[in-house]
């Protein structure tokens, strides 16, 4: 299984270079087409009472993005840069989501609350839940030039988890270590579920270890984040938006929490 058509979101933020580097690595590895899509907030240029688009600031950012993309992708056989040419939050989200639907996988960045945002705060989650494609989200801190060697798979028997696991197979097929982590109210349920996932991965040549954490409190997502650190994982695979399987977690709460506090790249599918 391989990826043949990748998309990476571009803006003028400092972390754009990091996710572009990772997207280029993926394109090289899979011999895939890479489409860089530039889209960010922007205000029309006001001259007297007349507003025109695009503004000079947007044009400057757009041109710089195209130059950086062409330089980074010089060694790729198939690379295309595109501009959505829109500046409002609604239009940026709509156009990026629409473009994402035509890719095998999409690379986005985590929202960084410490700097001025060039896209809406909930941009990544909205694209994930709206595009119908797997999305790889890159943290706003840390260096991640490749992913998929040490993988942590969050499993809860949900439709979303199943989608994410299947979508992640091209990234993890050559992994050095895979861990299936199940949260369960009863150990026997978690053990049985993990065993089935491990058997499925084995058919793809992936040997996975399993672990069950018994849920006794409300800190499920913190427990998951701790395991990423404990195991030195370079990729978390999890379903997006769906319930974790316990009545005290509202729908989508886990997705939001991970996107806010992630410390390693996360592959999410809805």
pLDDT at 1: 64
**How high does pLDDT run on average in the chain?**
92
pLDDT at 2: 81
For residue 7, give the nearest of 22, 143, 67 by alpha carbon.
22
- CATH code, 198: 3.40.50.620
Note whether 188 and 217 are within 8 A (CB): no
In tens, the pLDDT along 67-104 reads 999 999 999 999 999 999 999 999 999 999 999 999 99
Q: What's this model's pTM, rounded to 2 decimal places?
A: 0.94
Q: Which domain holds residue 167?
A: 150-269
pLDDT at 217: 54
Q: Say yes or no: 211 and 163 in one domain.
A: yes
| Residue 144 located in a structural domain | no
Q: Say yes or no: 165 and 117 in one domain.
A: no
Binned at pLDDT 50, 70 and 90, residue 243 comes out as: very low
Domain final residue, candidates 138, 159, 175: 138
Q: What are phi and psi of 252, to 5 degrees?
A: 90, -10
In tens, the pLDDT along 44-64 reads 877 666 789 999 999 999 999
Binned at pLDDT 50, 70 and 90, residue 247 comes out as: very low
Domain final residue, candidates 107, 138, 169: 138
Q: Say yes or no: 66 and 179 in one domain.
A: no
**117-139 as b/e: b if 16+ CB within 10 A:** bbbbeebbbbbbbbbebbbbbbb
> CA angle at residue 109 from 108 to 111, to 5 degrees?
135
Q: Is the pLDDT of residue 162 over 50?
A: yes
| Residue 160 located in a structural domain | yes
**Tally of structural domains, the chain:** 2
Q: Which residue has the higher pLDDT, 261 or 253?
A: 261
Q: Is the pLDDT of residue 242 over 60?
A: no
Domain final residue, candidates 138, 171, 204: 138
Q: Say yes or no: 164 and 249 in one domain.
A: yes
| Residue 196 located in a structural domain | yes
């Amino acid at each position: 299984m391989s990826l043949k058509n990748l998309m990476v979101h571009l803006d003028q933020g400092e972390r754009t270079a990091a996710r572009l580097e990772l997207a280029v690595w993926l394109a090289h590895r899979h011999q895939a087409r890479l489409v860089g899509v530039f889209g960010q907030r922007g205000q029309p240029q006001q001259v007297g009472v007349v507003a025109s688009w695009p503004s000079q600031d947007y044009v400057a950012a757009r041109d710089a993005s195209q130059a950086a993309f062409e330089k980074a992708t010089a060694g790729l056989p198939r690379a295309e840069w595109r501009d959505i040419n829109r500046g409002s939050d609604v239009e940026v989200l709509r156009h990026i989501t629409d473009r994402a639907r035509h890719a095998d996988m999409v690379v986005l960045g985590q929202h960084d609350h410490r700097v001025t945002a060039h896209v809406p705060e909930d941009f990544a989650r909205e694209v994930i839940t709206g595009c119908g494609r797997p999305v790889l989200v890159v943290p706003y801190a840390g260096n991640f030039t490749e992913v998929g060697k040490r993988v942590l798979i969050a499993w809860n028997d949900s439709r979303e988890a199943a989608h994410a696991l299947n979508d992640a197979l091209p990234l993890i097929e050559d992994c050095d270590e895979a861990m299936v982590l199940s949260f369960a109210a009863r150990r026997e349920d978690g053990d049985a579920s993990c065993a089935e996932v491990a058997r499925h991965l084995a058919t793809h040549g992936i040997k996975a270890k399993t672990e069950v954490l018994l849920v006794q409190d409300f800190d499920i997502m913190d427990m998951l984040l701790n395991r990423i650190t404990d195991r030195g994982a370079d990729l978390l695979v999890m379903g997006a938006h769906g319930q974790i399987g316990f009545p005290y977690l509202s729908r989508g709460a886990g997705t939001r929490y991970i996107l806010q506090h992630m410390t390693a790249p996360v592959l999410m599918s809805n």
